[in-house]
Amino acid sequence: MTQTATAPASVITPEIVAEHGLSRQEYDRVLHALGREPNLVELGIFSVMWSEHCSYKSSRLHLKKLPTEAPWVICGPGENAGVIDIGTGEGGKKLAAIFKMESHNHPSYIEPYQGAATGVGGILRDVFTMGARPVANLNALRFGRPDHPKMKHLISGVVHGISGYGNCVGVPTVGGEVNFHKAYDGNILVNAMTVGVAEQDKIFYSAASGVGNPIVYVGSKTGRDGIHGATMASADFGEDAEEKRPTVQVGDPFTEKLLIEACLELMASDAIVAIQDMGAAGLTSSSVEMASKGGVGLHLKMDDVPQRETGMTAYEMMLSESQERMLMVLKPGREDFAAAIFHKWELDFAVIGTVTDTGRMVLEHHGEIVCDIPLAPLADDAPLYDRPHVPTPKQADLTNVPETKDVAADLKTLMGTPDIASRRWIWEQYDSQVGADTVQTGGDAALVRIHGTNRALAMSTDCTPRYCYADPVEGGKQAVAETWRNISAVGATPLAITNCLNFANPQRPEIMGQIVGCLDGMAQACIALDYPIVSGNVSLYNESKATGGGSAILPTPAIGGVGVIEDLGKAVGIGFKRTGDIVLAVGERAGHLGQSVWLREILGREEGPPPPVDLRAEKRTGDFIRGAINAGWITACHDVSDGGMAVTLAEMALKSNIGVLVSEEQPFGVAESFFGEDQGLYLVTVCDTCLADFLDAAGRADVPVDPVGRTIKDRIVFELEGSDHQVTLAELREVHEGFFPNLMGADAALA
């Protein structure tokens, strides 16, 4: 066996370094770490581990301001997914929820079906690699203008990719969100979230240990798909975006299902020391992370890696992002036992190396050492940048906003606009019921029963990018608060969040200012609401020169929230229950029209500051709402968001097919009262016999309550001074349900 020779200078040229996404300064750090020039394999490994996607080199500094601890947090950021205590399950077993959200943005733009499908597959592996059975998927999607020539293709591919993978693997898709804006024309966002449940004493971590222990590869064979996927995800799009298709992985959900079952079966034994999925940067990141966390080294024999293509090089095997693969460290002597399980499930199983005490990654291929590098620099000494940043200028206050001419007509228009129209065409393609524990979808938060109990997980994904663009700090606060509000609105206690931070090029000071501002706002909200962040993902360089002008996405810090409701019998949804019920607005009101959907869609103006988030009022009102639901006083509840009170009322009415008469005088002008997007505000119906108790408790909690009207049969009527404006539920339903089928045309038949 021969040792690695120092690479000739002619091999690693400045052009090759640049192709690997490393700056000159970063390459100098590689030289310093090695004490020599790298060969191509070593350069490739440094390149992916130091990519933005893997190292968070532009954001790590600012992520530290996020609160990550609470008494119910079992494991915060740093593992494959976050872990929280969710109380007891069947037989009194202590359970944990394990969850995370990740991005697959660039791959989904290049190849929408496989990009979205493998995004789902990857986040599933992050969760079950920790010992959890996945119980729910959610997603957060951002598209460009619906009439953009490419958008129909992108929407169709992404939705079918999510459904094609999620439905086949047998995990219900229970919630999500969709936004449209021209800023996403050349760079759509596909964020996927998975929530799983595990017993607290059966959680698996990724730190390798035990010198001499076998390193085992399981799952699918390694191919040439996805090479440089992590590097591609860490750069903006040029004109050659279509040429990057080979960097997109190809997924197989049926193999993923087998992998889930095989892993969970092996996890029921005592054979596993550590386990890690092969996600971004594939075998490189999984092996480096396992060894680094355990403070050990590793020696891998590349000839033993299961390969589906002939003549693969060590470089290709280490950088491939082929899907449905895991890396494990087993206890010695348990190889045959583990192999039998994986072979039963018709999956590859191979011992490909051993744990060492060298602190180095050594790769052997065809009898030669093709890589020999210290692990510490790869994980611990990755570049860390304090990028220059400038705060986003504050938006001027709104002026010259005309009053609405017809509140019912404006409402009808809004219900058919891209950001508010029914997502039925999308969610009907997702299997939301597989597993038989899904209790509620289509409300503020999805509810999935904790199996064998009358308790449930509540979950929601949220972000309002236009708010973040106008004021990153307030937008960051709002994104966190919205998930907290949605979970509270069903009667559940919000516990923790995951995030997926989608931004443009951090090397632009104004973009870096958006990142810093959003993180500041998020941190404020997490602290005020006692709502820590336990996992997450950062996706930068989301901009495209392909659309002309280097357009950047809106800052989009997507938030996924998880909570628990102790008694499913007390959960409420958004639909009215019967006619004659009193409708109340609960929370602080201000009639805020800045950055509202009404202002944009009716008047064509994207102006003004976003609605401020008063975190003390948010906490006070949400705690009261949650208490009132669990007391049995509230029969329907929906938080006010896009489109203001009018759209909230319409959504409650359409869900139940029960209308509402708005008869009470409102505190502001008509447009401000009904289309203002005030934060921390809920619309509720309260049972008549409970009303006195409800109002008394609200007064003691210092929570304002305004009467709105009563539920009626089949229309929404606004009784205003001088005239009544009304629209039937049938008219609203037609425009609300018509947007996606009209947009997708023949594709709608696939739903």
When pLDDT is cut at 50, 70 and 90, the band that residue 382 belongs to is confident
Per-residue pLDDT tens for 668-681? Answer: 999 999 999 999 99
Does residue 253 contact residue 169 with C-beta atoms inside 8 Å?
Answer: yes
pLDDT tens figures, 448-507:
999 999 999 999 999 999 999 999 999 999 999 999 999 999 999 999 999 999 999 999
Confidence of residue 721 (pLDDT cuts 50, 70, 90): confident
**What is the number of alpha carbons within 13 Å of residue 632 lying toward its C-beta?**
4
User: Are β-strands 556-565 and 493-502 bridged in parallel, bridged antiparallel, or unpaired?
Assistant: antiparallel
Burial degree of 659 (CB within 10 A; 0-12, 13-18, 19+): buried
- At 236, is the pLDDT very low, low, confident or very high (cuts 50, 70, 90)? low
**Separation between Cα atoms, residue 21 and residue 43, nearest integer Å:** 10
Per-residue pLDDT at 272 exceeds 50: yes
Give strand pairing partners of 285.
none
The SS3 assignment for 251 reads: coil
The predicted structure's pLDDT at residue 304: 97
Residue 237 predicted with pLDDT over 70? no
pLDDT, residue 52, reads 87
Backbone angles phi, psi at 706, to 5 degrees: -115, 130
- Rounded CA gap, 590 and 248, in Å? 47
Which pLDDT value is given to residue 266?
97
| Beta carbons of 514 and 554 less than 8 angstroms apart | no
User: Mean pLDDT over residues 12-34, rounded?
Assistant: 92
Percent of the chain with pLDDT over 70: 94
Active site residues per annotation = 53, 104
Identify the band that residue 436 occupies on the pLDDT scale cut at 50, 70 and 90. confident
Give tens-digit pLDDT for 46-61. Answer: 999 998 888 899 999 9
Tell the residue number behind the tokens 């280490």, with chain if given: 318
Specify the DSSP class assigned to residue 295: T
Are 677 and 744 spatial neighbours (Cβ–Cβ below 8 Å)? no
Q: In which band, very low, low, confident or very high, does the pLDDT at 282 lie, cut at 50, 70 and 90?
A: confident
Strand pairing category for 715-720 and 659-662: parallel
Q: Is the pLDDT of residue 746 over 50?
A: yes
Helix axes 729-744, 407-415, angle to 10 degrees: 30
Per-residue pLDDT of 287-339, as tens digits, reads 999 999 999 999 999 999 999 999 999 999 999 988 899 999 999 999 999 99
Give the per-residue pLDDT at 314: 94
- Mean pLDDT, to the nearest integer, of 682-705? 96
pLDDT in tens, 205-233: 999 999 999 999 999 999 987 676 444 44
> What pLDDT, on a 0 to 100 scale, did the predictor assign at position 242?
47
Please tell me the predicted confidence (pLDDT) of residue 617: 98
133-137, 341-345, 379-383, 576-580: which range is least confident on average? Answer: 379-383
The predicted model scores a pTM of: 0.94
35 or 9, which is more confident? 35
Q: How far apart are CA 392 and CA 514, in angstroms?
A: 7
What local confidence, expressed as pLDDT, does residue 548 receive? 46
Choose among 480, 442, 487, 481: nearest CA to 626.
487
User: pLDDT tier at 545 (50, 70, 90 boundaries)?
Assistant: low
Q: What are phi and psi of 519, to 5 degrees?
A: -65, -35
Question: How many other C-beta atoms are found inside a 10 Å radius of the C-beta of residue 507?
Answer: 14
User: What backbone phi and psi angles, to 5 degrees, belong to 711?
Assistant: -75, 140
Helix, strand and coil percent figures for the chain, each rounded to 5: 40, 25, 35
**Structure tokens given for 507:** 């090397």
pLDDT score of 224: 85
State how beta strands 348-356 and 368-374 pair: unpaired
Confidence grade of residue 166 (pLDDT, cut at 50, 70, 90): very high
CB 398 within 8 A of CB 677: no
615-642 pLDDT, tens digit each: 999 999 999 999 999 999 999 999 999 9
Of the pLDDT bands very low, low, confident and very high (cuts 50, 70, 90), residue 278 is confident
Q: Is the pLDDT of residue 556 over 80?
A: yes
pLDDT at position 544 is 80
- Calculate the CA 274 to chain-centre distance: 26
Mean pLDDT of the chain: 92
pLDDT number for residue 7 = 42
What is the rounded distance in angstroms from the CA atom of residue 619 to the CA atom of residue 481?
9
Is a pLDDT exceeding 60 seen at residue 44? yes
pLDDT at 591: 96
Q: 694: helix, coil or strand? A: helix
The DSSP code sequence of 566-621 is S-GGG---SS--STT-EEEEES------TT-HHHHHHH----SPPPP--HHHHHHH
Tell me, what DSSP letter sits at residue 433? -
Look at residue 4 in the predicted model and tell me its pLDDT.
Answer: 47
pLDDT at 380: 73
Side chain identity, residue 311: G
Q: What is the mean pLDDT of residues 591-608?
A: 97
CB of 488 within 8 A of CB of 626?
yes
pLDDT in the model for residue 549: 44
